Amino acid sequence: MKKRILAAVLACLLLAGCAPGTTVPPEEEPAVDGPEIAYVPLDDRPDNVERVVYLAESLGYRLEMPELEDYRTALDGQPKNYDSLQCGNPWSLYTWVLDQEAAGCDRYILSMDQLHSGGLVSSRCITEDEVPIPGGTTSSSELMDSLLSALAEDKNNVVWLLDSVMRLAPTVGYQGGTLEDYNALRAYGAVGRPELPGGDLEASDIRALYQLGSDGQPLDPADFGLTEERVDAYLAARSRKLALSERMLHTVQCGGYEHFRVLIGIDDSSEEESIQKNEIAYLRSQLREGNALLSGVDDLAFKAVAKLYMAETGWDSQTVHVGITYFGGTEDRPACAYDYKPLKEIVEEHLEFFGVHQLSGGSGAADMEILVLTQPNVEGMTQEESDWRKKHECTNLVSWMKTFRNRQVPVILIDASNGTYGNDFQKMLTEEAELGYLLSYAGFLDMAIVTGTALSHGFARYAHLTRGETSKAEERAFVRTLADSIIKDFCYKHVVREDLLAYIRNDLGGDPNNFWAPEIDREAVLKRLESGMEKSTRKVLKNLENSNMIVFLDRNDKSLGEISWGKVELENYRFPWDRAFEIGMDIRLGMFEK
């Protein structure tokens, strides 16, 4: 019977009638035809838009989103939304969500930073609670109360509310913010504050300590190169942000909101006793069962989509074991200077959130294996010893990955090394491993989000595979999810981006963080990107095209079925925020092959 089921699944996934080595025309792409999720993104960066679409579709969901202009962020000097807005439009988003409810939608993933403030960047700057609406104004608080109460009326609704702990400093290049301003405010925010005891605290208790150091004495803005006015604006934005989070949490604790879930992410942070510490402790104390506060913000939607799917498919009632192995030797430290806990603790918090049980890596008893590359522990070593240690750690991890591949054990791979191995790790993986076999991979962008990104994608994929029901559209969305993560990390972050940074600064005299300030030849930058990616992706694409992926899993006898990726092509490169930090691209796929 199992063999017949596996054969049926494989037959369903294989596409016929197209020549090998070609991609499927867009008009012939199969579409996902499953339940709808109404999604208000944090902003318009790829991690909050297309990658969420890929993940949702890989699980059989259709993601509905507002018009781009209603959630887009524009940096200083860039074209604005509707010619006047530098951020999203809370009123338009509010009415859009109500329109989805009127149309019968019953699944929601909503970014509160977008609904309150027009996006993450804007939420770090706004000091007032006032929101423009047709014919006048209202407040963010009243708008939120009205929206949540409307969604609470339908008990069939499942609502995920995504929120954040404000980071230590606002964004460079937005509303006049400079790098000097950022560094000064981050230093001010990183100073320890008096620690509040547990108990019945209110957000007002925390705000009262914002201007005090850990010794209880007032902090002097001049010591940080700041004016009192600048600090007052910074603290007012923090105060507003915390008050809105408090109000949201108090609301969903009331009767009638049992079908709401809250997921709060900690934005760029620090292990120090910073201004965030009391905020984090307070918000965590207000969470009821099923809600969570975790490291990372740009991965919040990934985690919400994954948990929504797991709850609806019975994952939460299963016992799933994962083996974890670290390579590098620094898992007892934060993965970077912008995370608030050691990497190992961050991983364990996420395992608890997803309800999986941890085993020692390679025990043979786990349902899947997680391999994590940390920064190398090379303190006190000579350069020769350091180089040997780095190569040894990479070689060891790739060897484990190949062993699990040969044993047909599903693998999640996390690169939390923050670039400390140069390109050697990515090169070794490309030359020796089968990248397309992975359940998930993360290493691109900020280290604070790699854990949540890899685990949400990997666990969701595993849960989906064990159901025994997949479609062409779902598998193709999964391929795009994995390809996007690998290509952007291996090829863009570690190769092309460094060339672009130098080209923009030295040849064009511009700022890589904003192509409009000063305005540069953006067409030239795009051509440079296309040329660089064409060269750097060849070997990675060849690896993926020669890879097999898992398309069926039987947990009882741990058998699995595989098919080949087939052709992968990249096109329509773009810079979503007109900066070099991240890119977008379209991924064209061929046929899956036996």
Q: Residue 20's pLDDT band (boundaries 50, 70, 90)? A: low
Q: Which range of residues forms the domain containing residue 1? A: 1-30+468-481+502-594
403: left (phi over 0), alpha (psi -120 to 50) or beta: alpha
Based on the fold, state whether residues 343 and 429 are members of the same structural domain.
yes
Q: Residue 95's pLDDT band (boundaries 50, 70, 90)? A: very high
C-alpha closest to that of 403 among 436, 362, 367: 362
The mean pLDDT of 228-232, rounded to a whole number, is 96
pLDDT tens profile 76-86: 999 999 989 99
Based on the fold, state whether residues 251 and 351 are members of the same structural domain.
no
The answer to the question of residue 494 being in a domain is no
The answer to the question of residue 489 being in a domain is no
For residue 14, pLDDT beyond 60: no
Q: Residue 469's pLDDT band (boundaries 50, 70, 90)? A: confident
Among residues of the chain, what percentage have pLDDT more than 70?
96
The answer to the question of residue 390 being in a domain is yes
What pLDDT does residue 388 have?
96
Based on the fold, state whether residues 379 and 235 are members of the same structural domain.
no
Based on the fold, state whether residues 191 and 271 are members of the same structural domain.
yes
The answer to the question of residue 212 being in a domain is yes
Q: Residue 56's pLDDT band (boundaries 50, 70, 90)? A: very high
What pLDDT does residue 594 have?
65
pLDDT tens profile 338-355: 888 999 999 999 999 999
Q: Residue 200's pLDDT band (boundaries 50, 70, 90)? A: low
What pLDDT does residue 5 have?
45
Place of tokens 């902090």: 219
The one-letter amino acid code at 145 reads D
98 in helix, strand or coil?
Answer: helix
Based on the fold, state whether residues 439 and 341 are members of the same structural domain.
yes
For residue 17, pLDDT beyond 80: no
pTM of the model: 0.94
**β-sheet bridge partners, residue 323:** 359, 369
Based on the fold, state whether residues 377 and 418 are members of the same structural domain.
yes
- 202 vs 486, higher pLDDT: 486
Regarding beta strands 368-373 and 411-415, do their DSSP bridges make them parallel or antiparallel, or are they unpaired? Answer: parallel
Do residues 377 and 329 make contact, with C-beta atoms less than 8 angstroms apart?
A: yes
Q: How many whole angstroms separate alpha carbon 517 and alpha carbon 510? A: 7
The mean pLDDT of 8-33, rounded to a whole number, is 66
Do residues 325 and 362 make contact, with C-beta atoms less than 8 angstroms apart?
A: yes
Based on the fold, state whether residues 453 and 474 are members of the same structural domain.
no
Last residue of a domain, one of 265, 283, 313: 313
Based on the fold, state whether residues 443 and 306 are members of the same structural domain.
no
CA dihedral sign of residues 473, 479, 484, 487: negative
| CATH number where 98 lies | 3.40.50
> How does DSSP assign 470-536, residue by residue?
--HHHHHHHHHHHHHHHHIIIIIIIIIHHHHHHIIIIIS--BTTBTBTTB--HHHHHHHHHHHHHHH
Based on the fold, state whether residues 450 and 592 are members of the same structural domain.
no
Cα–chain center distance at 310: 18
36 in helix, strand or coil?
Answer: strand
Last residue of a domain, one of 313, 340, 360: 313
The mean pLDDT of 543-559, rounded to a whole number, is 90
Please state whether the peptide bond connecting residue 518 to the residue before it is cis, i.e. omega within 30 degrees of 0. yes
The answer to the question of residue 318 being in a domain is no
The mean pLDDT of 468-486, rounded to a whole number, is 93
pLDDT tens profile 382-439: 999 999 999 999 999 999 999 999 999 999 999 999 999 999 999 999 999 999 999 9
Based on the fold, state whether residues 206 and 80 are members of the same structural domain.
yes
Based on the fold, state whether residues 25 and 43 are members of the same structural domain.
no
The answer to the question of residue 492 being in a domain is no
DSSP letter, residue 331: T
The mean pLDDT of 93-99, rounded to a whole number, is 98
Count of domains for the chain: 3
What pLDDT does residue 269 have?
81
Based on the fold, state whether residues 450 and 548 are members of the same structural domain.
no
The answer to the question of residue 496 being in a domain is no
Q: Which residues contact 110 (CB under 8 A, 6 or more apart)?
A: 38, 39, 40, 97, 159, 160, 161, 162
The answer to the question of residue 400 being in a domain is yes
Per 3-state DSSP, the chain is made up of helix, strand and coil in percentages (nearest 5) of 45, 15, 40
For residue 288, pLDDT beyond 70: yes
Last residue of a domain, one of 260, 285, 313: 313
